[in-house]
Amino acid sequence: MGAVGPGNSTIDIDLPNPPELEVRRLTWALGAYARSARALVRSRSLSQMAESVCRAIAAHQEYVIAAIAMAGPAPDKEIRFIASAGSAREYLDGLVLTWRDDLPAGLGPTGRGIRSGEPWVMDDAMNDPVFDTWRDRARPYGIRSSTTVPFGRAGERTLGAVVVYASVPYAFSQREVQIFQELGEEIAFAISVIEDQQKLEEARRAQAAAEAEARARQAEVARIARALTVGEFASSIAHEITQPLAAVITNVETAMRYLAPAVDKVEAAREALTRALRDADRAHAVIRETRRRLARDDGDFVRCDVNGALRAALGFVAGELDASGVAVTTALADGLPAVLASEVQLQQVLINLIANAREALQDLRGRERRLTIASQAEADGGVGVSVTDNGMGMSDEVRERLFDHFFTTKRTGMGMGLAISRSIIEAHGGKLWSEPGLPFGTRFRISLPAAPEGDDG
């Protein structure tokens, strides 16, 4: 029969099948379409859908193979069967087909149908010259006719084809081919839906991975914040203890000098003082080592983009700012030089300043709560950052003590956040200070030196 399609005049020939047989076949074809449609609706994957459709078609005893073929891209244009069913399905094992027109493997019914994009019917496999290459291979399987019905999306190349082999010649009427065409359209639509579902699932997985990474980053920032808090607290205690320990050592040394000329029973006192001096020295050594370990190491410093750190910090606290009704304005200068920094520590400082500004705006009434974050190039070649709120501001007395350890105006605060933030910035060779905002509020400013050219930390 060759290439056929709706309205194609080549189909108007006398078929050697009685009308009763044609009616039965048409009735069955409609039933197969209905079963296949149900399979399409219920399937959740391309393989499951293809297998279900093939089984639904191959249920007819005259259809010895029902297969779904996919048309590969250029240059190979390989035809790959992704599912098959039927009593002669082994015929497809190892079968090499293509839809290229310059290879013998592409000149059979399946290659011609996919290449043309139109249904191709082979009425008599034993005599059709198009099938010469495969006739001896097909004979033991009882293949006597076939139809290849391409399917694809509108305006795009053919995706693949429904390929059906029958055990009798002239098995496919025009109406049956049309039914397979309609089924092919349903398959193309189902493939589109499945691919969209897969893309959606991939997007969901990517989003979940990004959220997990963000949570891990937040946890890391929180962990470092806790470590820095403990470290700063321990450093403060070590600083406070060092002075009285030094005084103990001095007093013991003085007492031993006073006892030096004496004899008799003062020897025991001298031994006790010697032990005290030894223990004090040991305590001093422990504190010295503790302070050494708590000292910040710039070995992890790398070249950082301040604007990137600002955007990341804002991303971490965006939910809290939104929940507090705080509008954020950013004015980030382009072309800023990189700074040499620990990115996580720098983000922690920025998060702390933004969080403080948000808390300063919580009780604001009568005007919009606004937070302005800016970056700019400094006159000395460094980078400046400012975090400004339009809250009620603070007194000069409070501002003078703002960076003192354990000083806080919050009922539940520890008074360590700003002290730690200043320590971090100073460890980066920079400065952190506050000044009144204009006309309202408070502005925190950071100044950081630019990274030396070619310095990767």
Structure tokens at 279: 């223990």
As a whole number of angstroms, the distance between CA 57 and CA 121 comes to 17
Query: Dihedral angle at the C-alpha atoms of 132, 133, 137, 142, nearest 10 degrees?
Result: -30
Rounded mean pLDDT, 169-192: 83
Which pLDDT score is estimated for 410? 58
Q: Is 211 within the bounds of a domain?
A: no
| 263 CA to centre of own chain | 80
pLDDT digits (tens, 9 = 90+) for 27-65: 666 666 666 666 555 656 777 888 888 888 888 778 999
Last residue of a domain, one of 272, 296, 320: 296
CA distance linking residue 79 with residue 163, whole number of Å: 11
The pLDDT value given to residue 50: 84
Residue whose C-alpha is closest to residue 85's, from 129, 44, 39, 120: 39
Picking from 59, 38, 40, the residue whose alpha carbon sits closest to that of residue 48 is 40
Question: Which of 49-63, 72-86, 175-189, 386-400 has maximum average pLDDT?
Answer: 72-86
Give the containing element (helix H, strand E) for 401. helix 396-401
Query: Of 296, 316, 348, which marks where a domain is finished?
Result: 296
Q: Where are the alpha helices (DSSP H) in 102-167?
A: 109-116, 135-138
What are the tokens at 145? 């006719």
Whether the Cβ atoms of residue 343 and residue 310 lie closer than 8 Å to each other: no
Is pTM beyond 0.75? Reply is no
- Whether residue 213 is contained in a domain is answered as no
Give a yes or no: residue 274 inside a domain.
yes
The answer on 194 and 61 residing in a single domain is yes
Q: What is the CATH number of the domain that holds 287?
A: 1.10.287
Same domain (yes/no): 246, 318: no
Claim to verify: residue 267 and residue 134 sit in the same structural domain: no
What kind and span of H or E run contains 28?
Answer: helix 19-42
112 pLDDT band, cuts 50/70/90, is very high
Residue 111, C-beta contacts closer than 8 angstroms, at least 6 positions apart:
79, 97, 98, 99, 100, 101, 105
Q: Are residues 284 and 418 in the same domain?
A: no
Return the closest-CA partner of residue 336 out of 364, 362, 310.
Answer: 310
Start-to-end CA span in the chain (Å)? 75
Kindly state the greatest CA–CA separation across the chain: 140
* Residue 64's CATH number: 3.30.450.40
The answer to whether residues 311 and 263 belong to one domain is: no
Backbone dihedral region of 260: left (phi > 0), alpha (psi from -120 to 50 degrees) or beta? Answer: alpha
Give domain status of residue 456, yes or no: no
Which DSSP letter does residue 356 get?
H
Task: Classify strands 327-332 and 370-377 as parallel, antiparallel or unpaired.
Answer: parallel
Domain encompassing residue 261: 221-296
- From residue 180, give the alpha-carbon distance in Å to each of 37, 69, 296, 416: 11, 14, 73, 75
How many Cα neighbours within 13 Å face the side chain of 159?
20
pLDDT in tens, 202-246: 888 888 888 888 777 776 666 666 666 666 666 666 655 665 666
Strand partners for 372? 329, 388
Mean of pLDDT values over 148-160: 81
Residue 394 lies in a domain: yes
- The per-residue DSSP string of 371-398 comes to EEEEEEE-TTS-EEEEEEE-S----HHH
Q: Which two tokens stand for residue 110?
A: 């399946």
Instruction: Mark which of 296, 326, 356 sits at the end of a domain.
Output: 296
Q: Between 154 and 382, whose confidence is greater?
A: 382
pLDDT of 437 strictly over 50: yes
Residue whose C-alpha is closest to residue 394's, from 347, 430, 348, 443: 443
- Number of domains comprising the chain: 3
Residues 8 and 104 in one domain: yes
Q: Which residues pair with 2 in a beta bridge?
A: 121
Q: Do 278 and 137 belong together in one domain?
A: no
Close Cβ partners of 56 (under 8 Å, ≥ 6 residues apart): 32, 35, 36, 38, 39, 66
Cα dist from 322 to 311, 325, 335, 389, whole Å = 15, 5, 29, 15
Greater pLDDT, 421 or 17: 421
- 388 has which bridge partners? 372, 443
State whether 184 and 241 are in the same domain.
no
What is d(CA 241, CA 229) in angstroms, rounded to the nearest whole number?
18
Does residue 171 have a pLDDT over 60?
Answer: yes
- 121-134 burial by CB neighbour count: b if 16+ within 10 A, else e? bbbebeebeebeeb
- Give the model's pLDDT for residue 141: 95
State how far Cα 103 lies from the chain centre.
Answer: 44
Do 191 and 227 fall within a single domain?
Answer: no
